[in-house]
Amino acid sequence: MMERDLISIASVASGSAVVRGGLDSRAVMVGDLDGSGCLPMNLARVGAPPSGDLSALRTGDVVISLRGNSNNAASVVPADLNGATLFATLDLGIIRLNDPECVSPQFVATWLNLPTTQALLAEGREGTAAKRLPLGPLKALGIPLPDWSRQMAIVELDRMAAEERRLNARITILRTQYISQCLANAAGRIPEESQP
């Protein structure tokens, strides 16, 4: 399997300085990236940056957090672009693949979110209290490039693992609620012979 530096397969840049308090656009922020590889449905409303639509996100872009103790990533899919123009804030990096027909943006986001990749990215972070990943180490990061079918298999396996985690969390909540209700029902029932 071939491995290439990220900069050899993509352009890597910082996000834009959006205008807080504006309403004509939407922005992806650090807190929106949770490691799932997907953007949330509700994104903050902001004003467009001075660069305007030139810095707008496009289908196939990958956004990655450059600030904090993790560098979570997500790929931009067509549904993310429904509505107002979408931008990434300055604390995010934008990875724009040179050929998204050969390298899947979802694969890149999945690979960036892996714990092993997060450990590699951690080595490049600077700062003590407010850690920041400079673009240099991100650009130099080696990325394995399996064939397209394997990339898609990896993405699908990650999607299924995330769905399993979601279902397990839901089952845990439902089980806890059920047991609590059973205990409440049992505590509320006093046998007739023990009543005065």
C-alpha of 110 from chain center: 9
Residue 53 has pLDDT above 70, yes or no: yes
pLDDT band, residue 120 (cuts 50/70/90): very high
Q: Give the pair of three-digit tokens for residue 44.
A: 């903050």
Residue 52 has pLDDT above 60, yes or no: yes
Residue 196 has pLDDT above 90, yes or no: no
Residue 14 has pLDDT above 60, yes or no: yes
* pLDDT number for residue 56: 92
Contact 60, 96 (CB under 8 A): yes
Q: How far apart are CA 182 and CA 58, in angstroms?
A: 51
pLDDT band, residue 184 (cuts 50/70/90): confident
- Nearest in space to 4 (alpha carbons), one of 76, 101, 108: 108
Q: Give the pair of three-digit tokens for residue 121.
A: 């990215």
* pLDDT number for residue 176: 94
One-letter amino acid of 123: E
Residue with tokens 């990655």: 64
Burial 168-180, CB ≥16 within 10 A → b, else e? eeeeeeeeeeeee
One-letter amino acid of 112: L
Strands (E), the chain: 2-5, 10-14, 25-28, 44-46, 62-65, 73-75, 85-88, 92-97, 142-145
Residue 94 has pLDDT above 90, yes or no: yes
Read off the pLDDT of each residue in 145-169 and give the average, rounded to a whole number: 92
Q: How far apart are CA 188 and CA 71, in angstroms?
A: 50
pLDDT band, residue 190 (cuts 50/70/90): low
Residue 54 has pLDDT above 90, yes or no: no
Top-confidence residue, 72 or 55: 72
* pLDDT number for residue 189: 65
Read off the pLDDT of each residue in 89-108 and give the average, rounded to a whole number: 93
Beta bridge partners of 7: none
Length of the chain: 196
Q: What is the dihedral of CA 89, 27, 97, 108, to 10 degrees?
A: 90
